[in-house]
Amino acid sequence: MSEHCSDVKQISILLAEAKDLAAASNQNGGEPKSLVVCFGEMLIDFVPTVSGVSLAEAPAFKKAPGGAPANVAVGVSRLGGSSAFIGKLGDDEFGRMLNDILKQNNVDNSGIRFDPDARTALAFVTLRADGEREFMFYRHPSADMLLTESELETDILNQAKVFHYGSISLISEPCRSAHVAAMRIAKSSGAILSYDPNLRLALWPSAEAAKEGMMSIWNEADIIKINEDEIVFLTGGDDPNDDNVVLKKLFHPNLKLLVVTEGSAGCRYYTKEFKGRVPGIKVKAVDTTGAGDAFVGGFLSSLASDHSILKDEKRLKESLYFANTCGAMTVTERGAIPALHTKEAVLKVETHKAS
């Protein structure tokens, strides 16, 4: 009971501070917005129309735009920030639909390329009755895997304040080389590099290849967001709740922030100066697809306009609580991009949950 009261008190404090942060952000509305550039895959998620069934048992599917980096780009834009997406789509109906969705959500799509020969990727995603997500991907190869270094929109990369990416774009060439080149260009222009490994083991040739690929760019990132399952995978089975495991095996010397998301329980954060935990918001989950991406979008929307929050623990916690709320709200609806919310909607939920 005392732990619950402590969490409620902490939530109330964080809520008040988050509102102050949002108000300050709104006062700067006349200044150019800081650009978050997201790189990687955009695809169609097919989500069952009912919960708690396997893919084979699903009676029907609802199509929803998705792909982790694209989800983050739309999330940042919906929250009032400025974002761009770099990636490749098939020159097909689904590819054109996804491109239109980026435009409708005010995401800069000048970094999109279309492949006349490869299809837009598809993914069937379900949350089974046992709580585990099940994936089936159609990309053999899909257009997102075929982006080349020469197709990169360097003007956007040079404008980035934050450059965000995952690991799926590292799986095969030529996209891997394009990914590494994009990181190099953004970093040289002063961007903060944000990495969400987003483990999808079924897409890699083997578990060993996945671990090697995910860790190959680990030390380049300024910010890394991982979940507990990814800690277990990357450390070879160590306790994901052990701070020493996280700090000794995953925190590297150049890292500014490592965040471990814990679902409805919230998140933990680690920097060189401090570490701690921020409580989450409990909601009735309908579909967890995109929750981590909504969290990242929520946090990066705060970080892009003010990098100094990485040095201020109080304001860092405010931003992470806001991100927790973004993630929680997303799981109450089906699909990833369709479930992303505006800053006003997120703050309204924060008020309701704290009262």
List active site positions: 293
Return the structure tokens found at 256. Answer: 């500014």
* Helix locations, the chain, DSSP H: 2-27, 68-78, 93-104, 154-159, 175-188, 207-215, 228-235, 243-249, 291-305, 313-330, 343-354
Residue of 319, 279, 314 whose CA lies nearest to 302? 319
Displacement of CA 11 from its chain's centroid (Å)? 23
Return the structure tokens found at 314. Answer: 């109080």
User: The tokens 């401090």 sit on which residue?
Assistant: 274
Distance from C-alpha of 228 to C-alpha of 185, rounded to nearest angstrom: 31
Task: Provide CB contacts within 8 A for 188, sequence distance 6+.
Answer: none
Q: CA of 53: how far to CAs of 49, 133, 176, 300, 331, in Å?
A: 10, 10, 35, 33, 17
Do the Cβ atoms of 185 and 157 come closer than 8 Å?
yes
CA atoms within 13 A on the CB side of 75: 34
**Which bin fits 159, alpha (ψ -120 to 50), beta or left (φ > 0)?**
alpha
The SS3 assignment for 220 reads: helix
